[in-house]
Each structure stands twice: as structure tokens, then as C-alpha cells.
Structure 1
């Protein structure tokens, strides 16, 4: 590899998945077995959250938490939560590029694993399969960034 090619590769950054794991998972069906007697017309609510932590040089843990609540006739049918974690090696990225990788790209990689874990627990709880729709983590990250900028601007204008 030429020195110029090595410099170009370093400027582009490198990304690697070291491990993907379930950090925590829970399933509750507080109204079973009575909930199975009513017609299944659920209202599904999904909450997403991510957090990250630097573990060492260029190594980061990202945890995607998905909480799904299904209510049927105003009674909770089930509540399922999965914390899907990943350890990522991210080299050569700084500032906004690093934050976007951690805040959008990594959760996007973790989502299919969390979705599968949720579907497995729901079906084992004797409920119909629950395939969550894809999530646009880039858009969520952009909205979060915009909110932070607005809050900073509002904070500066009050001083």
C-alpha cells in the first residue's frame, strides 16, 4: 500500500463490529389469561432510546432500547423491552461524523436484532407475531440534533 493510499484510508475512517449482544430483555403479560378472551385489536406503542459509552481507544458501546406496549380494550396485553447492545471499533472519525455514526449508524445495525428478539418474546407469550416497521435513525438523529441546537440557542438568548 502506498503512503498516499494509507493516508486516504485513515481520512475515510474505519468501522468494525466487535460484538452484538442482548444486554437486557423482559416480557410481561399482566392480564393473561383474561386478555386472550377478547377480540385482538391492539393499540401498539413503541419507544426508542439509545445511549453510548466510550470503552477505550476508538471502541464504543452503543445500546438501543426498544419498549413496546400493546393494549387491547384499554388493558395492557403485553409489555416487552429489549436492550440490544453492540461494541464497535470506530477509527479515524471525529466530531459530527463520529457522533452520527454512534447516534444513527450503530442503532440502525442493532435494530434488526432487537426487532427479532421482540418478535420471539411476543410469539412465545402466545400473541400474534409483531414485526416492527423499519426505523429511520438518520431522521431521528437529525431531529435530536436540531432540538439540541434550538435548546442551546434559547439558553443563550435568556442570558
Structure 2
């Protein structure tokens, strides 16, 4: 195997692509008892940027409500640029869908916590996420949708 045919995987850069913090009801929020309800939405994605380079993103939206009011809203997209070459397609997709997000998540977690604290709120340490399980779930859902679409195509129409 020639040197340039060997599988290569290297993290080139980690960066925040998008960050937003809103605290629409401050300072009123700070005068109330703090019993927040936290809602978290999480997505990850990947795209080919150039030959051998992929951008992987982990995006989170966190809404904290205290009573009937929104205490804060955080949106953040943590990204990484990965150099990936000579990886078979069946291994590439799990790398982009699970392994790379697992690398990025601790950075996202720290950035979200820092933003929330700088907004005047108590620390918010997001629980670890199992991106391997999330990736497997997405693969199963995609296979199920394909099977359902194939069944619909086979049904005769009148």
C-alpha cells in the first residue's frame, strides 16, 4: 500500500460557526426563585468541503423557562474541519455521524456553559450525548423509510 493510499483521519480545526444568547426577561428573571425547565434540541450534520475535507457540525438549541417566562435561549453550532482520506464509504458515514460529533461535543458543552454563566445564570453542564446510538437510530429510521417507500411503489393504483 502506497503512503498516499493509507487511511487518514485528522482534526484540522475546531470552531464555533454560530452562537446566540438571549435573555429576554432580565433583570426580572434574577428577582424570581430559580426553578428552570430546560428544553434541549440537538442536531448534527456533515458536508464535504473539498477533496478530503469534511465539515462536521453539532448544533444545540436550549430554552430555559422559569415559570411562564423564557429565562434564556442559547443557540450554538460547534464545527470541526476534518481531513479524511482513503476511508471506505461504509466506515466514512459512521465517522461523520458519530465519531466526529463525539469529538466536538465537549467543546460545545464548555462553550454553552460559558455563555450561560456570562449571561448571569447558574452553570449549565449538558449531559453527555451518545452520538453512536443517535447515528444508529438515524440509520434504522432511514432504512425503515426506504422500506415503506418501496412498499408504496409496489401497491397498485386504481
Structure 1 length-normalised TM: 0.91
Q: Which runs of 4+ in 1 moved over 6 A?
A: none
Q: 1:105, CA displacement in angstroms?
A: 0.7
The whole-number CA distance in structure 1 between the counterparts of 2:8 and 2:130 is: 23
Q: 1:96, CA displacement in angstroms?
A: 2.3
Matched residue count: 153
The whole-number CA distance in structure 2 between the counterparts of 1:117 and 1:126 is: 15
Deviations 1:48-93, CA, capped at 9 Å, x for gaps: 1112111122110111111111111121100001111110011221
Deviations 1:21-62, CA, capped at 9 Å, x for gaps: 110101000111111121111111111111211112211011
| Cross-structure match for 1:158 | 152
Select 1:120's aligned residue among 96, 114, 120.
Answer: 114
| Cross-structure match for 2:156 | none
Select 2:96's aligned residue among 93, 102, 105.
Answer: 102
Q: Give the root-mean-square deviation of aligned CA atoms.
A: 1.6
Structure 2 length-normalised TM: 0.91
Select 1:138's aligned residue among 115, 124, 132.
Answer: 132
| Cross-structure match for 2:143 | 149
| Cross-structure match for 1:59 | 53
The whole-number CA distance in structure 1 between the counterparts of 2:114 and 2:138 is: 30
The whole-number CA distance in structure 1 between the counterparts of 2:98 and 2:122 is: 30
Residues 1:15 and 2:9 are matched in the alignment: yes
